[in-house]
Amino acid sequence: MRIAAIRTYLLKAPTKSAFYSSQGLFSGRKSLIVEIVTEDGISGWGEGGQYGPAEPVIACIRDAFAPRLIGADPRTPAKHWESLYSSYRDFGTRGPYIEALSALDIAMWDLAGKSYGVPISTLLGGAYRDEVTAYGTGFYYPADGPTAVDPGRLRAEADSKLDAGFTAMKGKIGLLPVRDDMRRMEAIREAVGDDVALMVDSNHAYNLATARTVAAELGRLDFRWFEEPVPPEDKASYRALRDTSPVPVAGGEAEFTRYGFAELIGAGCVDVAQPDLAVAGGISEWQKIHTIAQVAGVTVIPHIWGSGVALAAALQVLAATPPNPYTAMTVPLQNEPVLEFDTTDNPLRRDLLTDPITLQQGRVAVPATPGLGVTVDRDVLSRFDVLETAAV
Ligand SMILES: [Mg+2]
């Protein structure tokens, strides 16, 4: 099996309604998709990046990495990762280079699975589960009134998540004063009752002193984790918060490679590490990050924000992730890994795959066919592609 061509697609899709996260407005969604085509005409799919501009990532793929991969066997992704990373480490250990590497790595794992006729989870050593409990990410701030505390709207969203079968949910805080955001979280807790696991994400909105106040309130409301409480560069505040927080501290979606996670985990910053496969280095790097976390007793739950391709990649690694710790009784969140399921409108998640990855009573089945186990709908790909497809 040899690589004949590498194509990039920049997909952009409007969403039904705009919304605010803790840091900014989302009025549409985008995904950078990579297709690696072999000489036999088999395609492997990957995704790279999440929030930032995709053009630098495309340039890294087109100008730096793709020329070195043409003609190579794609079934040795970890070997290619080491070679490509070391060629650009002088200036490419974070950011677009690693997002580019992530996309290419995922596509090569897809091809390896297709070549051997097995899902990626088998190549990773074997699946522990064939479906994963999902947690619903939502409770964003509406664009038509982001500063309003609107318990009715939050209760309605909580009800719709309960109807979908979610037993775990995550909301946003950090855009409003702490007191108002805590009123929002109280409304959600009241709506879902005590048996639903709740988590919260502030997208690094706070300094240490404010994060401590928030953590105390979240403890009172029995939240299960406090995600990105402080800026990701501020490891000392992470560590100080974790030492005293009544709720577990999560983070890592802005971190890159085993080296970044070794620092984050080694400094004692998090209880839950959240690498994004499309950002941190793909599936090859996930394996190293998971090992570093496992040795430290830290749980690894992938961050997911991308299209159906990124979601499929996360499902494969989640299938192959052992409980933390391995034990006779598995309980989602307590020791079983869970899947982040973005509940905002995203046509790139919903429509890009011929068999979309869907929720069934709060759980998601892991595709069992070779590779990522999904097929990209080329009509949908062209409909949302805003680039002249760049092929190398
Ligand atoms: Mg987050």
- The pLDDT tens digits along the chain (392 residues) read 999 999 999 999 998 899 999 988 999 999 999 999 999 999 999 999 988 899 999 999 999 999 999 999 999 999 999 999 999 999 999 999 999 999 999 999 999 999 999 999 999 999 999 999 999 999 999 999 888 899 999 999 999 999 999 999 999 999 999 999 999 999 999 999 999 999 999 999 999 999 999 999 999 999 999 999 999 999 999 999 999 999 999 999 999 999 999 999 999 999 999 999 999 999 999 999 999 999 999 999 999 999 999 999 999 999 999 999 999 999 999 999 999 999 999 999 999 999 999 999 999 999 999 999 999 999 999 999 998 655 66
Q: Which phi and psi angles does 46 have, rounded to 5°?
A: -145, 170
382 CB-contact burial (10 Å; exposed 0-12 / middle 13-18 / buried 19+): exposed
Among 80, 204, 290, 303, the one annotated catalytic: 303
In a domain, 156, yes or no: yes
| One domain for residues 241 and 357 | yes
Query: In angstroms, what is the span from residue 254 Cα to ligand 1's centroid?
Result: 9
d(Cα 280, Cα 282) in Å, to the nearest integer? Answer: 6
| One domain for residues 192 and 290 | yes
In a domain, 370, yes or no: no
| One domain for residues 176 and 108 | no
Q: What angle do CA 67, 92, 290 make, to 5 degrees?
A: 100
| One domain for residues 133 and 282 | yes
Q: What is the CATH number of the domain that holds 94?
A: 3.30.390.10
Which pLDDT score is estimated for 157?
97
| One domain for residues 82 and 57 | yes
Q: Considering only CA atoms, give the Rg of the chain.
A: 20
- Looking up tokens 């869970």 gives 338
Which pLDDT score is estimated for 55?
93
Which pLDDT score is estimated for 52?
85
| One domain for residues 70 and 136 | no
| One domain for residues 100 and 136 | no
| One domain for residues 314 and 204 | yes
d(Cα 55, Cα 336) in Å, to the nearest integer? Answer: 37
Which pLDDT score is estimated for 2?
98
CA distances from 366 to 123, 180, 359 (A): 15, 39, 11
| One domain for residues 10 and 141 | no
Which pLDDT score is estimated for 390?
56
User: Which residues, 6 or more positions from 161, have their beta carbon under 8 angstroms from its beta carbon?
Assistant: 136, 138, 169, 192, 343
| One domain for residues 203 and 231 | yes
Query: In angstroms, what is the span from residue 272 Cα to ligand 1's centroid?
Result: 12
| One domain for residues 195 and 313 | yes
Query: In angstroms, what is the span from residue 227 Cα to ligand 1's centroid?
Result: 6
Which pLDDT score is estimated for 388?
64
d(Cα 142, Cα 155) in Å, to the nearest integer? Answer: 14
Which pLDDT score is estimated for 387?
85
Whether 204 sits among the annotated catalytic residues: the reply is no
In a domain, 135, yes or no: yes
Contact between residue 314 and residue 339 where contact means Cβ atoms under 8 Å apart? yes
Range of the domain at 65: 3-117+375-391
Query: In angstroms, what is the span from residue 303 Cα to ligand 1's centroid?
Result: 7
Query: In angstroms, what is the span from residue 201 Cα to ligand 1's centroid?
Result: 6
In a domain, 11, yes or no: yes
Which pLDDT score is estimated for 324?
96
Buried b (16+ CB within 10 A) or exposed e, 8-24: bbbbebeeeeebbbbee
| One domain for residues 156 and 239 | yes
In the chain, the number of structural domains is 2
Query: In angstroms, what is the span from residue 339 Cα to ligand 1's centroid?
Result: 13
Distance of CA 179 to the CA centre of its chain: 29
In a domain, 74, yes or no: yes
Which pLDDT score is estimated for 50?
83
Query: In angstroms, what is the span from residue 301 Cα to ligand 1's centroid?
Result: 11
CB atoms inside a 10 Å sphere around CB 130: 12
Which pLDDT score is estimated for 51?
81
Which pLDDT score is estimated for 235?
98
163 CB-contact burial (10 Å; exposed 0-12 / middle 13-18 / buried 19+): exposed
Query: In angstroms, what is the span from residue 172 Cα to ligand 1's centroid?
Result: 9
d(Cα 174, Cα 211) in Å, to the nearest integer? Answer: 10
Q: What is the CATH number of the domain that holds 233?
A: 3.20.20.120
